[in-house]
Amino acid sequence: MHELGILYNMAKTVTKIAEENNIDNVTEIYLEIGSLKGIVPQFLDEAFPYVAGQFPCIEKAVLKYRVIPAKGLCDDCNAIYDLCDNEGICPRCHSRNKKVLSGDDITIVQISG
Ligand SMILES: [Zn+2]
């Protein structure tokens, strides 16, 4: 369950941001999660209270997130397509050569406190 590791990293980063901004108690954390990360939202929701309990400044925070679709740019025909829907294969020319444009990151969009 790699959601736990992702949440630990996120919690450390949020704690640092909160300290830099003099926020004692974060009330809300908003993430954007790339669909290539293979996150299972249910695991994220289940694991969050456990992780948050170990970081005093986010103990009472609510976790919100949205999943960002994975987009690729085909190296051979320049088509932009959804990597998950097409299993990483260009629907126009069937090439596997591509650049990943989005969907490979987890971004902390906003924290409130
Ligand atoms: Zn193509």
Neighbours of ion ligand 1 (CB under 5 A): 74, 76-77, 79, 90, 92-93, 95
Sign of the C-alpha dihedral, residues 24, 30, 35, 39? positive
Confidence at residue 37, expressed as pLDDT on a 0 to 100 scale: 87
pLDDT at position 41 is 87
pLDDT tens-digit map of 12-47: 999 999 999 999 999 999 999 999 888 888 899 999
Res 1: pLDDT: 64
* All domains in the chain, ordered by first residue: 3-69+103-112 (3.30.2320.50)
By residue count, the chain amounts to 113
Give the Å distance between the CA of 101 and the centre of ligand 1.
Answer: 14
If you average pLDDT over every residue of the chain, what do you get? 94
CA of 94 to the centre of ligand 1 (A): 6
Is the pLDDT at 69 greater than 70? The verdict is: yes
> How far does residue 99's CA lie from ligand 1's centre (Å)?
11
Total-model pTM? 0.84
- pLDDT for the residue numbered 113: 92
71 in Cβ contact with 78 (< 8 Å): no
